[in-house]
Amino acid sequence: MNAQIGGNPVMLKQMNKSQILQVLFKKSPLTKADVATQTQLTFVTVSNLITELQNDGFVREMGLAVSTGGRKPLLYGINPDAFVFAGIEVQVERLVCVLTDFENRVLNSRIVAVDSLEGPVFVARKSREIVVEMLEESNLSMDLLARVSVSTPGPIDREQGVIVSPPNMPNWRNVPFRDMIQAEFSVPCDLEKDANAAALGESRYGAGRGVENLIYIIVDVGIGGGIVLGGEVYRGQLNGAGEVGHTLIDLNGPLCNCGSHGCLESMASKSAIERELSGPFGNELVFEELIQRTDDKRVRESLLRSGTYLGAALANLGNIFNPEMIILGGELATGCTLYFERAEAIARRRMLPHFVHRVQIKPAELGKLSGAIGAATIAWQTMVQSLTF
């Protein structure tokens, strides 16, 4: 963005301030001269705007830089205490909530069992209750809460803020959840698909810190994915990009929830493994225990087979996107070494040799919090981009 070209002066000033905040957010502490270099704005413009941002409480001084000859210049960064954001992830059986500060650091987090079958009104009210409790626990005033973002199972209409028809939440059809959350909290809200939010969370604060181009895949009951290109979520035309679970592995494979046959989800997900092993083990073991029974030949074979299918999908994704990193989330990928290692081995064997040596394949690091942290990141981004100074 070059904010010096065209437009009205007030808008340009806001764009320039937003750009300065984003640079300070990514790379602080920085001197005014550093900020000028990074934003390609003049030193005088940067100096004046940083003073204004400091007076408004958005930016703080952070000590002195090393001298390059003359007087030591002052360092600047974001003032973490300026605002608080809430990231809320709606899952089928629970709510995951985080509070973050203006530097987007996590201040508090909570995972609460909330059944989505209770319906959107109940879940919106419960979300507010949890966030208010967390604010009180952290001795923070509700007035500091600037924005809330919600991560939810798709499909969603992001522009309209509507949850359209999540397959595992049957009584959520065309729910205007953004407006409902805005009404509960009296602050603006954003809505994001869960895998996109988790991909962003992992890219900023988890396994993908510092990586510009990555693919995040969550293996759970289903298989979802999020694509981050150039540090931003790639959403596709209908906000539908990243449906890794419905890439084809076997044209004549088992029936998938989407109506097709042989999708990755129908062959390598938690439910696919449970289906395979329900004969030998019935309901005698919960899934977490089942995937640890790798001394049992049937469990071992099932995990290796599904890991192989995932590896094939990873090889395809690696060849299409040539990412720097592929991150695997969900309890199967992060909790079962046999499955993860088989998927990685197949991916490395089958991806183009030229790409293989430069791609990292890593387990996710934020666990159940990745979606909520990603949502809070979106709240931060949207606010800084739309601030009226």
Between 267 and 290, CB nearer to Zn ion: 267
How far apart are CB 194 and Zn ion at their closest, in Å?
Answer: 17
The whole-angstrom separation of Cα 176 and Cα 190 is 11
H helix runs in 43-110, sequence order = 43-55
Binding segment (CB under 5 A) for Zn ion, from list 67-75, 221-229, 242-250, 320-328: 242-250
How far apart are CB 169 and Zn ion at their closest, in Å?
Answer: 18
The whole-angstrom separation of Cα 158 and Cα 147 is 16
Site for Zn ion in 252-271 (CB under 5 A): 256, 258, 260, 263
Which two tokens mark 29? Answer: 């502490």
How far apart are CB 187 and Zn ion at their closest, in Å?
Answer: 37
Binding segment (CB under 5 A) for Zn ion, from list 163-171, 204-212, 238-246, 276-284: 238-246
DSSP codes, 205-237: HSTTTT-SSEEEEEESSSEEEEEEETTEEE--T
How far apart are CB 263 and Zn ion at their closest, in Å?
Answer: 3
Residue among 17, 246, 270, 362 that touches Zn ion (CB under 5 A)? 246
From the list 125, 169, 197, 130, the residue with the least C-alpha distance to 369 is: 197
Strand partners, 147: 85
Binding segment (CB under 5 A) for Zn ion, from list 101-109, 117-125, 246-254, 376-384: 246-254
Between 229 and 258, CB nearer to Zn ion: 258
How far apart are CB 332 and Zn ion at their closest, in Å?
Answer: 18
Size of the site for Zn ion (CB under 5 A): 5
How far apart are CB 248 and Zn ion at their closest, in Å?
Answer: 8
Binding segment (CB under 5 A) for Zn ion, from list 249-257, 277-285, 306-314, 330-338: 249-257
Q: Could you give the 3-state DSSP secondary structure of residue 112?
A: strand
Q: CA dist 150 to 87, 234, 238, 366, 378, Å?
A: 6, 18, 18, 17, 9
Between 108 and 247, CB nearer to Zn ion: 247
The whole-angstrom separation of Cα 95 and Cα 114 is 6
Binding site for Zn ion (CB under 5 A): 246, 256, 258, 260, 263
